[in-house]
Amino acid sequence: MAKIVIGKDGDEVSSHLCQAIEKQYESYDPSGSRPFVIGLSGGSLPKFFAAGAPQMTKINWNKVKFIFCDERLVSFDDPESTFKVYRETFISKVNGVTKDQFVVIDPTKDVEACAQDYQEQLAQLDSPQDGSFPIFDVLLLGMGPDGHTCSLFPGHPLLDEQSRIVASISDSPKPPPNRVTLTLPVLNKARACIFVSTGEGKKEILKKILEDKEDFPAGRVKPETGTLTWILDAPAASLLKL
């Protein structure tokens, strides 16, 4: 069952996000060889993560690898690049974090080759496996007003993907059209999925997903053995009966 946490403002949202990540880190053994893997998303998430990251003093950042839950197929200098956003807002704020800790796409490849290459890069992280799927430690997720998460959009065939770890999309209804994305089976194998959703514009879709149980991509994120947390602000949660 999903845990819903509400912050009264952006600072509280950041604080709740940090606490949720640190809680997952508590079960990680930093003396081992494998990294602690955090999946990143775009939207408003980077600002909350960057603002709160310096508070996460329990985490040995040298042991962390950052992956992207989805990424736009654009150059790293393009404002649409999620990696660019984290490079500019996060790396400079946290001692011990370098750009080499980010597993990034190769934007010079065509979209299908890019997805395959990214899947191969993720396989090198030595994460635990469940069948053919990796088990990542924490996936930080956002949600659009249409209920999409990652680059998994309502009504899109990728929602039914059951074999690939990373899929390509060349017809994204939200520009830019070419992207790569983790698939739903990967999201649902994670040890923890943490949504951050804020603002008045999200209140209707949050009610539909969390209370009315309507079928939207974000509502299909249901970790099989991991935890699911929704971190909201007061405007986003205003229609929920909590």
Kindly report the CATH number assigned to the domain that includes residue 47: 3.40.50.1360
Please check whether residue 234 lies inside any domain of the structure: no
Which residue range(s) make up the domain with 60?
36-214
pLDDT at 92: 83
By CB atoms closer than 10 A (0-12, 13-18, 19+), residue 182 is buried
Residue 153: what residue type?
A: F
Gap between the Cα atoms of 158 and 161, Å rounded: 5
Gap between the Cα atoms of 191 and 186, Å rounded: 10
| Exposed e or buried b per residue across 66-85, where buried means at least 16 C-beta atoms within 10 angstroms of its C-beta | bbbbbbbbbeeeeeebbbbb
Please check whether residue 191 lies inside any domain of the structure: yes
Please check whether residue 15 lies inside any domain of the structure: no
pLDDT at 96: 84
pLDDT at 93: 83
Please check whether residue 55 lies inside any domain of the structure: yes
38 in helix, strand or coil? strand
pLDDT at 95: 84
pTM above threshold 0.95: yes
Low-confidence ranges of the chain (pLDDT < 50): none
Domain count, the chain: 1
